[in-house]
Structure 1
Amino acid sequence: MSAGLPSEPVAVVIPAYNEEGTVGDVVRVALTLSSDVVVASDGSVDRTAQVAREAGARVVELTTNGGKGPALYAALRATPAEYVVMLDADLTGLTREHLDLLLRPVLAGELDMSIGVFEGGGFVTDWGNKLTPHLSGQRACRRAWLLGVPGLNAERWPEPAITAHLKASQARWAYVELPQVAQVVKEKKRGFWAGAGARTRMYAQLLTYRARRKKGTP
């Protein structure tokens, strides 16, 4: 670890679905923080798993595409680390310094969870991330706390469940700016119409979280 960060058992966990174009770079940056980097390939049908392995990650391959929640859960179960940094697999502009920004306040005991938000990485991803910062996939916390999130393994998009648990557990959390980091938008990865459809389905799942939880439906 870099100067100023105590030596702690830390893993980086990366849920990934069809992210062969970016996952390798994310893994290589993650390895500058920890040798324990776990990619959970969420039923990917491209070379995501192979690229992640070649970059140096341990890979958990899920046979079906169950969503980010089950993939995150599988990655968490695959490491014994006390602390985890959670990253999306489609990031661009990521550096070791960004990982330190996320992890430092958690290791110092100042926060129970830090949540990364983009700053200056690009208009589209900056705007989307700042509009809904609570949906960010860039986080750091104790692994046991994250495994304790109710319904984590059942949510295709687990961020609302994590937010609810932050409130219920009265955890200390804060947003941390990640300068020059961005994501490859779905419309670019899948084509405009397919990407827009995937985005619509994602937000439908995210926005109906509370109603589904009350009804007890996934």
Structure 2
Amino acid sequence: MRVVAIVPAYNEGRRILPVLDVLAAAPSVDGIIAVDDGSTDDTFSVANQHSACLVGKLRVIRQEPNQGKGAAMQRGADEADGADILLFLDADLTGLSIAHVENLLAPVKSGEKVMALGVFRGGNFWTTLAQILAPNISGQRAIRREVFLSVPCLADARYGVELAITSFVMGEGLPMTDVVLKDVSHPTKEAKLGLLRGVRARARMYQQMMPFLMRRYNPKRKRKL
């Protein structure tokens, strides 16, 4: 199965390279697409200078203006021609290793699951706590491409995109699983933006998630794809 990793990024010029390094070295990852979602910093140029671009494993796409995480993920999936599995990772991860990537992909590559959701444990206290309370908001997941492309209205979901994906997979009764990403984390919005801007950004994020939080799952009988 061909695996393409998609890394949506907004103003992550200082943080994206370690994630790209791991993906470039991961044996199961056949290609990488980084989608710069209208950043105002040097995210695009930094990603373009990665050595994986020189060997054709990494492609960097600039999307303007900023359209939100859902649109960036949708753009990456549309560009991933020939992929069987999509691996979505946030651009600001810390503690990520090749083993984490391979473990997240394994349940989907084996055909046992159509989606594997990566959940933080043992890294930053607050991000770990958030994913214990609400694992479905995780941005780290492996998913069959045809399943992802079947999720409606992703381009408009913005920060609600993860909940929209999980809601669809559960509503269709498709097999999924959680995979623990031990010691993986990412900075909180408050740490990246400062307290006041971070709180405002978090409030916007929860506002965009709310329509999807309010939806009820409608599980159906499991089916194979």
* TM-score normalized with structure 2 length: 0.87
Counterpart of 1:205 (choices 208, 215, 223) is 208
Give 3-state SS (helix, strand or coil) of 1:199's partner. Answer: helix
The Cα shift of 1:209 comes to 2.8
Corresponding position of 2:3: 10
Corresponding position of 2:178: 175
Amino acid corresponding to residue 148 of structure 2 in structure 1: L
Cα separation, 2, equivalents of 1:48 and 1:131: 31
1:36 aligns with 2:38: no
Structure 2: segments with no counterpart, 5+ residues: 53-57, 216-225
How many equivalent residue pairs? 206
Residue correspondence of structure 1 range 54-203 to structure 2 within 5 A: 54-55=49-50, 56=52, 57-80=58-81, 81-157=83-159, 158-203=161-206
Give 3-state SS (helix, strand or coil) of 2:112's partner. Answer: coil
Corresponding position of 2:43: 48
Q: Indicate conservation of the 8 Å contact 2:2/2:30, yes or no.
A: no
Q: Deviations over 1:12-52 (max 9, x none)?
A: 00111111111111111111222411011111010111111
Amino acid corresponding to residue 66 of structure 2 in structure 1: N
What is the Cα-based RMSD across aligned positions, in Å? 1.6
Cα separation, 2, equivalents of 1:137 and 1:188: 18
Corresponding position of 2:221: none
The Cα shift of 1:106 comes to 0.6
The Cα shift of 1:141 comes to 1.2
1:24 aligns with 2:17: yes
Q: Deviations over 1:101-127 (max 9, x none)?
A: 110011111111000001111211111
The Cα shift of 1:208 comes to 2.6
Q: Indicate conservation of the 8 Å contact 2:44/2:62, yes or no.
A: yes
Structure 1: segments with no counterpart, 5+ residues: 1-7, 213-218
The Cα shift of 1:167 comes to 2.1
Cα separation, 1, equivalents of 2:69 and 2:213: 18
- Is 68-77 or 160-169 further displaced after alignment? 160-169
Cα separation, 1, equivalents of 2:206 and 2:78: 27
The Cα shift of 1:131 comes to 1.5
The Cα shift of 1:182 comes to 0.4
Amino acid corresponding to residue 43 of structure 1 in structure 2: G
Cα 1:61–1:97 change in 2 (3 A) is same
Q: What stretches of structure 1 move > 2 A for 4+ residues in a row?
A: 208-212
Cα separation, 1, equivalents of 2:148 and 2:39: 24
